[in-house]
Amino acid sequence: MFEAISAAAVAPAPPAFQSPVEFDADLISRLSRNGPRYTSYPTADRFTESFGYRDFLRAVADVRTRGAARPLSLYLHIPFCDTVCYYCACNKIVTKRRDKAATYLGYLKREIEMQGRLFAGINEVEQLHFGGGTPTYLSDAQMDDLMAHLHRCFRFAPDDAGEYSIEIDPRTVSAERVHSLRRQGFNRLSIGVQDFDPDVQRAVNRIQPEAQTRDVIDAARAAGFRSVSIDLIYGLPKQTPATMRTTLDKVIAAQPDRIAVYHYAHLPQVFKPQRRIVEADMPDSDTKLAMLQLCIERLTAAGYVYIGMDHFARPDDDLAVAQRQGRLHRNFQGYSTHADTDLVACGVSAISAVGATYSQNVKTLDAYYDALDRHELPVARGTRLSLDDALRRSVIQKLMCQFELSIAAIELAFPIAFASYFERELAQLAELERDGLVQIEDDWITVTHKGRLLIRNVCMVFDRHLAGRGTATHSKTV
């Protein structure tokens, strides 16, 4: 049976670092349900195949015609991995055949070149992110080639003004490679750790010795990376509050700038690798909640600020500063300090956000190569936002990033009277207010400290596309 860790058992954080998030086990158990993570609104499961390559071209043309060019954010998807981690829910291809990556790289460069031409003259890149799969599946020489190609096709903001990040699997890089990545133009590293406990690592088929991770972090500091972020997961097989505590202590000792603690969503019916996880090894929901509580308490006591969803950052990190100044943004790469960028995403399954549209690339290598062989961008589906979508996206974005919403600001930006337009939603919010998640005033909606962990529940109230559709493929909100 889950026993709440009493507040008295945890050393209080210094006042300057007090994080405004409150853990309420009863509330979470009662209200947690499946729901979107809102990296986009409408969410990707609402994209349709009636939106294709030509609609994407029209969106770029609109951006150009309106003269509303914004800085760019680039995302590159490298789908290959050496081995499979059993908890994985990513779009990846597990293979030891490196020649597959060489072929992919050739096509990826073609797509980048086409996008570079489309955005010629309006293409200053302020943000670059490499995700996967395992981006460092590419060799050092391949990465050199790819980065040089990107710099030929796009103009980049200088190193101190841009956020250039890559996801690192410490099992695939040496200290020397980390220095190479810095020279190639990356200034932020996101390191997948998940858990340091050897039993947990065995249970998920991701054996990653602690020393290997520490070496990568040390190399990143020595190479001059501006920010190092560590990803953890709670809810994995064989995890207990005791193993979690040890992992957290080790992570805190490494002093990363950001820490993400993701909830493991066990959906074996949707994600095949998860069928290899032994069900009997899974922690029950009370244990998972105890681990979440532990994460929040240990990290905030160590001085990290709760940013939202699964993210924590040091108070002097750009994300924490941006949140204090009301400049925090959220897109497919999670929280970001770069608001209002158009996002151009290249590679299989990657999702772009240009103007008032979202578009997603095809998911298989064959379809990707076929489209590029026809000299077409490999767009498979997407959506064009209606005015209502744009309004709701703005509301959800504000709630996710700032935990508050100025009703007057929304009425200034959109031609609506908030109280009548959102009459139904306000009635639903009133129920969440009774539960203590939000506070509703004439001009403001504020998410309370204990509502912050359930922010997805609050946002779901404003999601018009959820009505009448299932949420079974989404993860639990907490």
C-alpha distances in Å from residue 360, one per residue of 8, 80, 450: 48, 19, 35
Cβ 87 vs Cβ 264: under 8 Å: yes
213-219 long-range contacts (CB < 8 A, ≥24 apart) are 213/170, 213/254, 214/254, 215/170, 215/175, 216/168, 216/170, 216/173, 216/175, 216/178, 216/189, 216/191, 217/191, 217/254, 217/256, 218/175, 219/175, 219/176, 219/178, 219/179
User: Which CB, 92 or 456, lies closer to ligand SF4?
Assistant: 92
Residue 146 CB, nearest approach to ligand SF4 (Å): 18
Residue matched to tokens 């055949």: 97
User: Which CB, 134 or 287, lies closer to ligand SF4?
Assistant: 134
User: Which CB, 111 or 169, lies closer to ligand SF4?
Assistant: 169
Contacts of 257 by beta carbon, 8 Å cutoff, 6+ apart? 227, 228, 229, 313, 314, 317
User: Which CB, 132 or 162, lies closer to ligand SF4?
Assistant: 132
Cβ 181 vs Cβ 206: under 8 Å: no
User: Which CB, 87 or 306, lies closer to ligand SF4?
Assistant: 87
And the tokens for 364? 């298989």
Residue 134 CB, nearest approach to ligand SF4 (Å): 5
Residue 176 CB, nearest approach to ligand SF4 (Å): 21
Residue 331 CB, nearest approach to ligand SF4 (Å): 20
Residue 137 CB, nearest approach to ligand SF4 (Å): 9
| CA distance linking residue 6 with residue 11, whole number of Å | 11
Q: Quick one: which H or E segment has residue 442?
A: none
Determine how β-strand 351-354 pairs with β-strand 80-81: unpaired
C-alpha distances in Å from residue 186, one per residue of 127, 129, 177, 215, 316: 10, 9, 12, 18, 20
User: Which CB, 85 or 265, lies closer to ligand SF4?
Assistant: 85
Residue 138 CB, nearest approach to ligand SF4 (Å): 14
Residue 271 CB, nearest approach to ligand SF4 (Å): 10
Tell me which residues touch ligand SF4 (CB under 6 A): 81, 84-85, 88, 90, 92, 132-134, 169
User: Which CB, 118 or 193, lies closer to ligand SF4?
Assistant: 193
